[in-house]
């Protein structure tokens, strides 16, 4: 060890020091692995040298993990007591099989959860129209059963005058959502920071999803930006117990036929698919013309939509009735 050391005098800036340190770690891991050392001993050894040479502390376990990764890719792989040499092609095949196994396990877990859900639905209080309910109300005044909703997926108005609603939404969601259930909120970029701060008051922030809308950009003159995407904020009511998700949605074609601020069913369906399972009770407290509801019913979920605008609720009712007449859970 220390064969590729850089003298302290050679290291000028902080950036150069970091780069040299990274390079040193890579080289020493490779050398150590070739010499047959274990990732554990490499981690301990290199961490000591780094502190001496670069006056930087790196945890031995950090280096150990990196050495393990490099060993798994470049060096013979241990399979139980066997050691096998994998060619690049074999390695690809092994990784593909591993991915398939993971997917199958996830599908099995989802199927089991859906079966359990089908049992519990039988005892749930019925919704007004069987699989859905629409309410014309300010969401803050609606008496939703506490701890009864499997997911909130919603698209509130984005203007600065509406931002205080995000504070109320956070409190509302923390009351009505089940423990650890997701709250997925589409937001405009302009007041993102304020909205996110409010939302995180009672919920736990997990991630931001990019909701991409192809075609003509939206001009945000005040910020001098042409925009083709919106953040969708993913929070949970407690801890994140959702499956792994992809953080990109392509909303498909532009759809303002039913509501001036309407989203596409394709886009909302991707969110429904990622955050809920069949039979789940989805709520949209800003349902507009009911796009979240359409996507929910089409994929076997149940739905409660709230909006304080009479016309929006009428639009939702017409669209949901149409879907419901051709569907059963």
Ligand X SMILES: C[S@@+](CC[C@H](N)C(=O)[O-])C[C@H]1O[C@@H](n2cnc3c(N)ncnc32)[C@H](O)[C@@H]1O
Which spans of this chain sit near ligand X (rule: CB under 6 A)?
138-139, 155-157, 165, 258-259, 261-263, 285-286, 288-289, 291, 306-309, 312
Q: Of 111 and 254, which CB lies nearer to ligand X in the complex structure?
A: 254
* Distance in Å, CB of 315 to ligand X, minimum: 8
Q: Of 42 and 313, which CB lies nearer to ligand X in the complex structure?
A: 313
- Give phi and psi for 85, each to the nearest 5: -90, 125
In sequence order, what E strands does the chain have?
A: 77-79, 82-84, 132-136, 151-154, 182-186, 204-212, 218-220, 225-227, 229-236, 248-250, 281-284, 302-307
How far apart CA 291 and CA 147 sit, in angstroms, is 24
- Give phi and psi for 184, each to the nearest 5: -115, 115
Q: Of 17 and 258, which CB lies nearer to ligand X in the complex structure?
A: 258
* Distance in Å, CB of 284 to ligand X, minimum: 7
- Please tell me what DSSP assigns to residue 243: P
- Contact between 41 and 33 under an 8 Å Cβ cutoff? The reply is no
How far apart CA 163 and CA 166 sit, in angstroms, is 6
* Distance in Å, CB of 263 to ligand X, minimum: 4
- Contact between 283 and 304 under an 8 Å Cβ cutoff? The reply is yes
- Contact between 297 and 132 under an 8 Å Cβ cutoff? The reply is yes
* Distance in Å, CB of 223 to ligand X, minimum: 19
Q: Of 54 and 166, which CB lies nearer to ligand X in the complex structure?
A: 166
* Distance in Å, CB of 158 to ligand X, minimum: 7
Q: Of 136 and 148, which CB lies nearer to ligand X in the complex structure?
A: 136
Q: Of 32 and 288, which CB lies nearer to ligand X in the complex structure?
A: 288
CA dihedral of residues 2, 8, 11, 12 (deg, nearest 10): 170
* Distance in Å, CB of 259 to ligand X, minimum: 4
Q: Of 181 and 268, which CB lies nearer to ligand X in the complex structure?
A: 268
Residue among 56, 29, 34 nearest 45 (CA): 29
How far apart CA 33 and CA 55 sit, in angstroms, is 24
* Distance in Å, CB of 225 to ligand X, minimum: 19
Residue 16 C-beta-side C-alpha neighbours within 13 Å: 8
Closest residue to ligand X: CB criterion? 288
């Amino acid at each position: 060890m220390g064969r590729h050391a850089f003298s302290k005098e050679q290291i000028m800036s902080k950036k150069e020091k970091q780069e040299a340190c990274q390079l040193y770690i890579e080289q020493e891991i490779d050398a150590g692995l070739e010499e047959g050392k274990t990732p554990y001993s490499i981690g301990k050894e290199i961490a000591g040298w780094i502190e001496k040479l670069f006056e930087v502390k790196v945890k031995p376990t950090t280096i150990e993990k990196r050495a393990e990764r490099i060993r798994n890719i470049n060096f013979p792989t241990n399979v139980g007591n066997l050691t096998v040499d994998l060619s690049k092609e074999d390695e690809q095949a092994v990784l593909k099989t591993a991915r398939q196994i993971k997917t199958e396990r996830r599908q099995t877990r989802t199927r089991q959860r859906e079966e359990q859900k089908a049992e519990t639905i039988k005892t749930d209080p019925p919704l007004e129209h069987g699989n859905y309910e629409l309410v014309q109300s300010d969401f803050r005044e609606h008496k939703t059963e506490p701890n009864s909703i499997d997911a909130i997926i919603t698209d509130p108005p984005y203007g600065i005058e509406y931002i205080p609603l995000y504070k109320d939404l956070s409190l509302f969601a923390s009351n009505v959502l089940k423990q650890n259930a997701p709250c997925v909120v589409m937001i405009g970029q302009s007041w993102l920071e304020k909205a996110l701060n409010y939302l995180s008051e009672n919920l736990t922030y997990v991630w931001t999803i990019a909701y991409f809308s192809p075609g003509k950009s939206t001009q945000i003159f005040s910020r001098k930006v042409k925009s083709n995407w919106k953040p969708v904020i993913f929070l949970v009511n407690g801890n994140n117990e959702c499956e792994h998700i992809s953080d990109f949605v392509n909303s498909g074609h532009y759809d303002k036929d039913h509501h001036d601020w309407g989203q596409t069913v394709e886009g909302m369906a991707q969110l429904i698919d990622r955050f809920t399972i069949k039979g789940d009770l989805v709520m949209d407290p800003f349902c507009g013309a009911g796009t979240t509801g359409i996507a929910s019913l089409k994929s076997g979920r149940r739905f409660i939509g709230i909006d304080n605008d009479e016309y929006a609720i009428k639009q939702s009712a017409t669209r949901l009735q149409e879907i419901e007449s051709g569907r059963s859970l």
